[in-house]
Structure 1
Amino acid sequence: MDGELISIVIIEDDAGLCRAMERLFRLSGFVTRSFHSAEDAGMSQYVASAHCLVVDIQLPGASGPAFYGTLHAPRPPIVFITAFDAPATRHAVASAGNHALLAKPFLGAALLKAVDEAMRRND
């Protein structure tokens, strides 16, 4: 992906956290597009071309893992985030394909590392 802008799609219903992640990614050289639920209009075109998704588990409407399960192959890599790190949450993530899961609050460096690792696994 040398020279190519790497796009990250964020689906997070907490506006403050969403802005913080957008800022972190932009300062790190990524292009972002954010949505507040898995049902937001116009989201599918951005998801299809994203290099990675960062998706909250608990969203209004469809959950993060349920949303990811509806995507057609090849699906972009994903990092799930949650404020409710419990066995049921970990099971939902494992059922969606055993992707990265970060518990809120997390450090920006941890998020960047998880996104990098997700994209590397997907190559």
Structure 2
Amino acid sequence: MNATRPLIVIVEDDAGMRRALQRLLRVSGFDTLAFESAEDYTLAGGQRVPHCFVIDVQLPGASGPQFFEQLVLSGQARPPAVFITSHDNPATRTAVASAGGLELLIKPFVAKELLDTISRAVLPGSPP
């Protein structure tokens, strides 16, 4: 991994979606690490603090919002998180907002939406 490229951590239980997100982000100039669950991310004990997370709301074990709400990164502020879901409802929106999510994108979403949201989070001042 190249330390000059922003690191995006993906936590998504669907293997096909996880691979697609990794490919999209890598060809768009980001480094990526991908995990199937919140527990897998925690067990990996990340070496680098990510610039942004992309987290599925519905995960096995701890949900995406639960994971992000409880995330502690050795004395550093939590990076922004973009949540993704195919279950758009008021409860999901409330959980993401309460956890401090930057944005909630509904599957299927347009790749540009995700890239624009991550760019705004990682590169403050970048155009919407």
Taking structure 1 as the reference length, the TM-score comes to 0.88
What residue in structure 1 maps to residue 7 of structure 2?
7
Alignment of 1:1-123 (within 5 A): 4-40=4-40, 42-46=43-47, 49-72=49-72, 73-120=76-123
Please list every run of 5 or more consecutive structure 2 residues that lacks an aligned counterpart in the other structure.
Answer: none
Task: Return the alpha-carbon distance in structure 2 between the equivalents of residues 43 and 8 of structure 1.
Answer: 15
Please list every run of 5 or more consecutive structure 1 residues that lacks an aligned counterpart in the other structure.
Answer: none
Q: Does the residue aligned with 2:60 lie in a helix, a strand or coil?
A: coil
1:100–1:118 Cα contact (<8 Å) kept: no
1:35–1:43 Cα contact (<8 Å) kept: no
Q: How far 1:70 sits from its partner (Å)?
A: 1.1
Task: Return the alpha-carbon distance in structure 2 between the equivalents of residues 82 and 16 of structure 1.
Answer: 14
Q: Does the residue aligned with 1:50 lie in a helix, a strand or coil?
A: coil
Among the aligned pairs, what percent are the same residue? 53
Taking structure 2 as the reference length, the TM-score comes to 0.85
Query: Which residue type is aligned with residue 36 of structure 2?
Result: H
Q: Does the residue aligned with 1:60 lie in a helix, a strand or coil?
A: coil
Query: Which residue type is aligned with residue 68 of structure 1?
Result: F
Tell me the matched-pair count: 118
Structure 1 residues 98 and 34: alpha-carbon distance in aligned structure 2, compared to 1, 3 A threshold: closer
Q: CA RMSD in A?
A: 1.7
Task: Return the alpha-carbon distance in structure 2 between the equivalents of residues 74 and 88 of structure 1.
Answer: 26
Query: Which residue type is aligned with residue 37 of structure 1?
Result: S
